[in-house]
A = this chain, B = another copy of it.
Amino acid sequence: MFRTHNCGELRLQDAGKEVTLSGWVQAGRDFGGLTFVDLRDRYGITQVVFDSDDNAPLAERARKLGREWVIQIAGVVRERTNKNPNRPTGDVEILARELTVLNKSKVPPFTIEDDSDGGDDLRMRYRYLDLRRGPLQKNIIFRSKLALAVRAYLGDQDFVEVETPNLIKSTPEGARDFVVPSRLNEGQFYALPQSPQTFKQLLMVAGYDRYFQIVKCFRDEDLRADRQPEFTQIDCEMAFVTQEDVLNTFEGLTRHVFRKMKGTDLGEFPRMQYDEALRRYGSDKPDLRFGMELIELNNVAQGKGFKVFDEAELVVGIRVPGKADLSRKQLDALTDWVKRPQIGAKGLIYVKFNEDGSVKSSVDKFFDAEALQAWGGAAGAEKGDLMLVLSGEDEKTRKQLGSLRLHVAAEYDMIPTDSFKPLWVVDFPLLEWDEEASRFHAMHHPFTSPKREEVERMLNGDHETMKSLKADAYDLVINGAEIGGGSVRIFDRGLQEKNFQLLGFTPEEAEEQFGFLMGAFEYGAPPHAGIAFGFDRLCAVMNGQSSIRDFIAFPKNNQGRDVMIDAPARIDEQQLKDLNLRVTVEE
């Protein structure tokens, strides 16, 4: 037996007990004839003391222990003289009688402390050491408990967790599919699922009524900072429900897990139409933790001879409270920021409403103080506030300003931390017109239903009508992060065919790729709807963090590599031969 107790559980009332503990040497120090060792495991840290008066050879051995060595000690619990109130075990220590070194450790390449001195690359390479650090253990354990809480809640509500297959079929839409060559079926490939979408719909056809799954999904795409090729979803589907039922059910889930895991009552979630979110926040996932809403300035800013504004479809601004004191340099930096290609604005105009009542702007040549005060009036600006203004095409400009809003708020610490602001964004468009490719994309996915009252317009409308169709599609946003999204689904073969046609599928392509689903719709498919939450993202947001990587035990880097195990890698010629494959690039 390696231990009678773990390193986090002994208390004053255990004094006098003979105990055995095992763990890692967190730190050691000598003081007089005593050697103190902090022994650590997942559960906590317990102080062990070796007394050279009591047992000199043992104390001698203890002095030679190194950091991260794995040891087992046996001894007696006793009250500490110098108690450590910051540690649950801080009232006691173990006077050691025995010491066994279970395993030695080389000096770790970085310190195993809450704030490590290791760089990202080093920590990824020795992930098993990084995972020993307190903050990461806390994250990974949080994730495990959150998954349990989600499952218990949904299980109590008659949801059935069904495992859907990982080896499925690639679709031509699936440029981002990972594929898996089959040995038994020569020259053929499976694909890894980007989501279990069609399977969960089939489960509704099969009568499972309420499905969920916490499930790995896969996407082979160029990795942005915070994307992973494999990620985890809380995937759900319900039959005989409306959008209202889905929103209520998953608002219930979300409130439950915040209450259980964070002790926070989120209250009722506000709802906002997609159009309104874009209009007020320049984003389909507005962060409601702070204001700075977009203010349309066409009325007050156009017709004053400033050509840039006069020719723009939209002039729009935000009021940044108390930031009239930004320096020229700071304002230039913001201008540079919006001009970056990712944002794409041509320039940024500012107005300072100074504390002394004066007004100063970058367009003083065109607008006098009175005109600028009119802008301020529109925005509710007060002395000391700053206004930032963009102009151009309506939707594009709103999105640019929406990004700037987030950037300014983050840059100047204007976002309250430890506050959670959930929001349902609803009434998304069904289709998105891709000007470049001259085709429609599905805004959510091809299985999303238009709103019931839109079906007629969809079946009979012209091209412009299609652009304006609204869907029963919805996103859950918390603190400006998209936690999940879903929709009411099409469950009628004819409507699904029409949707594929709008999306540019020939009938043959639609049949070849999704014939099984459309076929299923002919055998008694119930009305159904669903949602999927990004589980990695939910973990991060609940802990006020922005990177999902710290909530994944073994993440890939942004080249999609696991640098610890060195994957992906070349494979044997024989393996390739068995798979009937040849690699067309040199090593």
Contacts and interface: CB of A to CB of B under 8 A. Distances in A.
Contact of A207 (B131, B186, B570): B131
B165 A155 contact: no
Interface stretch (A83-91, A176-184, A316-324): A176-184
Interface in A113-166: 126-129, 131-132, 137, 140-141, 143-145, 147-148, 151-152, 155, 158, 160-166
A61 to B, nearest CB: 17
A182 B568 contact: yes
What bracket does the count of chain A residues touching chain B fall in? 35 or more
Interface in A547-563: 552-554, 556, 559-562
Contact of A203 (B69, B522, B553): B553
Given A148-B151, A208-B42, A175 B575 contact: yes
A102 B527 contact: yes
A192 B229 CA distance: 13
A82 interface: no
A163 B553 contact: yes
A166 B553 contact: no
A258 interface: no
Contact of A185 (B6, B126, B202, B561): B561
Interface stretch (A360-368, A407-415, A577-585): A577-585
Nearest to A551: B163
A566 interface: yes
Interface in A1-57: 1-3, 6, 22, 24, 40-43
B182 A560 contact: yes
B160 A141 contact: yes
A578 B222 CA distance: 13
A501 B122 CA distance: 30
A520 interface: yes
Contact of A163 (B160, B208, B552, B575): B552
A567 B169 contact: yes
B189 A571 contact: yes
A242 interface: yes
Contact of A562 (B165, B170, B245, B572): B165
Contacts of A442: none
A216 interface: yes
A81 interface: no
A441 to B, nearest CB: 19
Interface string A472-500: 00000000000000000001100000000
Interface stretch (A103-111, A349-357, A390-398, A417-425): A103-111
A537 to B, nearest CB: 14
Query: How many monomers of this protein are in the complex?
Result: 2
B1 A190 contact: no
A220 interface: yes
Interface in A178-233: 178-192, 198-199, 202-203, 205-209, 216, 218, 220, 222-223, 229-230, 232
Chain A interface, DSSP helix/strand/loop, else mixed: loop
Given A169-B569, A584-B582, A180 B180 contact: yes
B568 A169 contact: yes
Contact of A129 (B141, B175, B187, B206): B206
A356 to B, nearest CB: 56
Given A169-B569, A182-B568, A554-B164, A128 B522 contact: no
A168 interface: yes
B585 A583 contact: no
Contacts of A554: 164-165, 199, 202
B132 A168 contact: no
A144 B160 contact: yes
Given A168-B562, A209-B43, A562-B168, A179 B182 contact: no
Contacts of A181: 179, 181, 568
A575 to B, nearest CB: 7
A437 interface: no
Given A140-B160, A523-B108, A189 B516 contact: no
Contact of A169 (B129, B216, B566): B566
Interface string A496-536: 00000000000000000000100011111111000000000
Given A161-B144, A581-B584, A571 B179 contact: yes
Given A140-B162, A144-B160, A585 B185 contact: no
Contact of A70 (B126, B526, B561): B526
A535 to B, nearest CB: 9
User: Which A-B residue pairs are the 6 nearest by beta carbons?
Assistant: A105-B524, A131-B206, A169-B567, A188-B568, A2-B240, A68-B524
15 contacts: A2-B527, A41-B209, A43-B158, A103-B521, A105-B523, A126-B523, A128-B206, A128-B523, A140-B162, A144-B161, A167-B229, A182-B220, A187-B570, A188-B569, A202-B554
Interface of A: 1-3, 6, 22, 24, 40-43, 68-70, 102-106, 108, 126-129, 131-132, 137, 140-141, 143-145, 147-148, 151-152, 155, 158, 160-170, 172, 175, 177-192, 198-199, 202-203, 205-209, 216, 218, 220, 222-223, 229-230, 232, 240-242, 245, 491-492, 516, 520-527, 552-554, 556, 559-562, 564-572, 575, 578-587
